[in-house]
Amino acid sequence: MPIANLIPLVCRRSLQRIAFILPLVLVTASVARAQSYDILLQGGHVIDPANRIDQVMDVAISGDRIVRVAPSLPVRRAKKVLNVKGLYVTPGLIDLHAHVYGYSGSVFPDDTALLAGTTTVVDAGGAGWRSFDDFRKRIIEPSRTRVLVFLNIVGRGMIGPEAENNVEDMDPVKTAAKIEENPNEIVGIKVAHFVLPGWTALERAIEAGRLSNTPVIVDDSIFTNRARTSREKLLRVMRPGDLHTHVYNDRQLEVVDRFTGELQPYILEARKRGVLFDLGHGRGSFLWPVAVRAMKQGFPPDTISTDLHSSSIMIQQSDMANCISKLMNLGMKLPDAVERSTVNPARAIKRFPELGTLGEGQVADVAVFELKTGVFAFKDAWSKKLLGTQKLECVATIRNGRLVADLNGLGFPLWNKAGEYEVIP
C-alpha cells in the first residue's frame, strides 16, 4: 500500500495546501530580500538623528520610499547608483519659515528650496482662510517641493499693513475650519506684523490654534509694543509648543540684554515651559552680535529656518544650507544642525516621523551635502561679514524618490573622449 494512503484524507489536503503555499512564502521572502532599488546612495556619511545614525552607510530607495539604510548594500540590485563617498546624506531639510505665496517677496518654492537640500517648506502666513484655495491651486499643487502652510490669522493673508492690522478680519472659527478642511497641508497658524496695542492678533491666533489643535508661530515687534512686552508674550500668552520666529534679531525678542550682553532670564524660562524658538533668518532677522552672544551662552534656535524671500536670498545667503553653515561657524555641530533642520521642525508641526527622518518605510526625501573647508564669508541681515572655515553646500536632492537636483552630475553617466557613455565608477 502506498504510504500516502496511510495518511487520512483531511491531512493530505492540508499537506497539499502547505505544499502549494510554501513556495509562495519562500518566493515572497526571497523577493523581499532581493528587492531592487531605484536609487542607491552608496558610501555616504549618513546623519539621521531620529535613528541615531551618524556613520558611513548606504541608503536604498524604491519608488517613493526609503527601503534600506545599512552598510554595503548590493549595487547589482540598483537601477541608479549615486556614489556619495566623502559626502553627507541627510533627511530632506524642512524649512519651517519660508514665503512662497501672498507676501510681496514670495518665491516659487522649487526655484530655491530644492537647490539647497530643502524638500519641505512651510509657508509662513502668506495665505489666510480667504485665499488658501488659490494658494493650493497656484503653488502647492504644481510644486515638486512639499509645501505646508501656517495659515495667517488674517483672512486675506500677508498682503500689507492695512490688511494685517484689520482686527475685523481675524476670525478664529473660520481659520480653524479651513485648517480642519485641509489637514494634509495646513499645520498651524501665523500671526505677524501686528502693530496695534494689546494682544488681539495673538489671542485670536491662539484661539484658532486651540480649536484646530495646531501650533501658532509668532512674528511681531517689541518696538511697536503698547501695553505688551516680550516677557509677557513668552511667559503668559503663548502656549507650550507655540513658536517664536526671528530669534536672533533684536526687535522681536531681545534674547540678549543689549547693555550687559547676557541672555535674558525670561528667554530661558520660556524655553523651559516649552515655547520654541525658530531662526527665521530673512533680510532683517539674523544679526551677528545677537547670534554670536546667544550661541556662546548656549542658546541655539530649536528650529533652523530661512524666512526666504526675494530680498533675503541674494545678499544675505539665507537658504537652509547657508543658515546651517553660519550656525556651524558659531560652534554648532553638523548632526545637531541636521536635527534642528529635520526632526525638530517635523515635531513642531506634528509631522514626525512621517517627515524628518531616513527611517525605513518613510518617504524618500533626501539631501546630499558637501562640507567644504577653507575661508568663507558669511553675511548677516545687516550685510556685515563674518569669516568662517566651514561651508555646507547641497550636492543633490531627492524628493519623493526622484532625483530633483543634481549639482555635480552624481546621477549621470560620464561622457568620455571616445564619444561613449561610461558607467559611473
The binding site for Zn ion (CB under 5 A) comprises 124, 307
User: Closest CB to Zn ion among 71 and 161?
Assistant: 161
399 and 144 in contact (C-beta within 8 Å)? yes
User: Closest CB to Zn ion among 73 and 98?
Assistant: 98
Query: Smallest distance, Å, CB 35 to Zn ion?
Result: 43
Query: Smallest distance, Å, CB 130 to Zn ion?
Result: 20
User: Closest CB to Zn ion among 38 and 307?
Assistant: 307
As a dihedral over the C-alpha atoms of residue 170, residue 130, residue 320, residue 409, rounded to 10 degrees, the angle is 180
User: Closest CB to Zn ion among 95 and 169?
Assistant: 95
User: Closest CB to Zn ion among 71 and 105?
Assistant: 105
Measured CA to CA, the distance from residue 32 to residue 322 in angstroms comes to: 40
SS (H, E, C) the chain: CCHHHHCCHHHHHHHHHHHHHHHHHHHHHHHHHCCCEEEEEEEEEEEEHHHCEEEEEEEEEECCEEEEEECCCCHHHEEEEEECCCCEEEECEEEEEECCCCCCCCCCHHHHCHHHCEEEEEEECCCCCCCHHHHHHHHHCCCCCEEEEEEECECCCCCCHHHHCCHHHECHHHHHHHHHHCCCCEEEEEEECCCCCCCHHHHHHHHHHHHHCCCEEEECCCCCCCCCCHHHHHHHHCCCCCEECCCECCCCCCCECCCCCCECHHHHHHHHCCCEEECCCCCCCECHHHHHHHHHCCCCCCECCCCECCCCCCCCCCCHHHHHHHHHCCCCCHHHHHHCCCHHHHHHCCCCCCCCCCCCCCECCEEEEEEEEEEEEEECCCCCEEEEEEEEEEEEEEECCEEEEECCCCCCCEECCCCCEECCC
User: Closest CB to Zn ion among 40 and 124?
Assistant: 124
Query: Smallest distance, Å, CB 309 to Zn ion?
Result: 7
Query: Smallest distance, Å, CB 317 to Zn ion?
Result: 16
User: Closest CB to Zn ion among 124 and 270?
Assistant: 124
User: Closest CB to Zn ion among 119 and 249?
Assistant: 249
Query: Smallest distance, Å, CB 270 to Zn ion?
Result: 20
Question: For residue 347, how many other CB atoms are within 10 A of its CB?
Answer: 18
Query: Smallest distance, Å, CB 97 to Zn ion?
Result: 6
User: Closest CB to Zn ion among 131 and 329?
Assistant: 131
User: Closest CB to Zn ion among 69 and 124?
Assistant: 124
Report which of 123, 168, 99, 90 is spatially closest to residue 396, judged by C-alpha positions: 90
Question: For residue 16, how many other CB atoms are within 10 A of its CB?
Answer: 10
Query: Smallest distance, Å, CB 26 to Zn ion?
Result: 56
Q: Which residue is nearest to Zn ion (CB)?
A: 307
Query: Smallest distance, Å, CB 218 to Zn ion?
Result: 11
Query: Smallest distance, Å, CB 142 to Zn ion?
Result: 22
